[in-house]
Amino acid sequence: MITTMLTATSIAILTTMTLALIRAMLGPTVFDRVLALNMFGTKTVLLICVVDFMSGRDDFLDLALLYSLMNFIGMVALLRFTEHGSFGEETVT
């Protein structure tokens, strides 16, 4: 029962990922692409959690946390670049 549910969930997540990727490829404006990328990152985190529960291991959840942090940092960097055309006055480290 649980396995069926997890399989169905992973198929749904993978479908959503595919749709988000298609939107990011087609996306006429910058913000379509940014939204699609953000959604893709979130779905990756969810997929890792589902895989974690499917394989019965606990240590992948830490990675899911790291992914969401990385997704956030990447998104902030992309949006700052879109807004300013550069990273402003600060040095990038």
Partner 1 sequence: MNLIAFAILALLAATAVTVARMRDLWAAIMFTGIYSFLSASWMLILDAPDVAFTEAAVGAGIATVLMLSTLALTGKEERATTRSPLIPLLVVTVTGGALIYGTLDMPHFGDPSDPIHLYPNPSFVEKSQEDMHGLPNVVTAILASYRGYDTLGETTVVLTAGIAVILILRRDESHPEQQESP
Q: How far is the CB of 88 from partner 1 (least distance, A)?
A: 5
Amino acid identity, position 39: M
The one-character DSSP state at 28 is S
Q: Which two tokens stand for residue 66?
A: 């790291």
Tell me if residue 87 falls in helix, strand or coil.
coil
Phi first, then psi, for residue 46 (nearest 5°) are -65, -40
The one-character DSSP state at 92 is P
Q: Which two tokens stand for residue 22?
A: 């298609």
1/58 with CB nearer partner 1: 58
Please report, as ranges, the residues that interact with partner 1 according to CB under 8 A: 10-11, 14, 17-18, 21, 24-25, 30, 33-34, 37, 40-41, 44, 47-48, 51, 54-55, 59-60, 63, 66-67, 70-71, 73-74, 77-78, 81-82, 84-89, 91-93
Q: How far is the CB of 55 from partner 1 (least distance, A)?
A: 7
Q: How far is the CB of 68 from partner 1 (least distance, A)?
A: 10
